[in-house]
Amino acid sequence: MRLVVCGTDTDVGKTIVSAWLVQGLKATYWKPVQSGLEGGGDRERVRLLLNLPSERLLPEVYAFTQPVSPHWAAELDQQPLDPERLTLPESTGHLVVETAGGVMVPLTRSWLQIDQLARWDLPIVLVARSGLGTLNHTLLTLEALRLRNLKVLGLILNGPPHADNPATLEQLGGVPVLAQLPPLQQLNAQQLAQAWQLQGLSSTFQRLMSQTTFL
């Protein structure tokens, strides 16, 4: 299985959800474009969180210094981003690809994240906030993905459980809510594993794999 983790916005929890999927699926992690290197970037955050060996953490193609949109970060670092270099790596096992920012974020001034998603043509797990404001952001994102005929496996909602938003998103968005990641008492590998098990996500993704052709 190879899939892409996208977000409805910046700081919706893509990296934590990516780590959750990497752990649960025993997958390799790859974030090809990193903007902002404080703390070592997201690859280092995932490594520390899960205590992963280096072979399950692929290096970035581009790692820019400033935590801004990739197109501008590339310009600030005077390191032009070439989308032709964002080729999917060879991988014999499961691969989780994390994007930078939301789906309409520019990677260059003429190439958007969603253009790259179309080129990869991998199934997408969309991460969204659980609370107020998520309906608009999530439905707009789903519409943009649908217009490009991109396959969305489903949503993972990050944050405190909401009484209505999951059902409304499924009804209006036309995709399932695969999981909800509530605030954890401690953000560590053990707590993530417990949340995975409690929600039966191994069975969920086995079912998805049986229904979907993964490249």
| Placement of tokens 């409690």 in the chain | 198
Q: Which residues contact 167 (CB under 8 A, 6 or more apart)?
A: none
| Phi and psi based region of residue 190 (left: phi greater than 0; alpha: psi -120 to 50; beta: remaining) | alpha
Q: Please report, as a single letter, which amino acid is at residue 4.
A: V
3-state DSSP assignment of residue 121: coil
| Placement of tokens 């080729």 in the chain | 87
Q: Please report, as a single letter, which amino acid is at residue 178.
A: L
Which residues are the active-site residues? 31
The two three-digit tokens of residue 189, written as one number:
């590998």
* Count of helix runs (H) and strand runs (E) in the chain: 8, 11
Q: Please report, as a single letter, which amino acid is at residue 34.
A: Q
Give the closest residue to 179 by CA, choosing from 10, 11, 13, 9. 13
The two three-digit tokens of residue 168, written as one number:
């409304």
The answer to whether the CB of 95 falls within 8 A of the CB of 32 is no
Chain length of the chain: 215
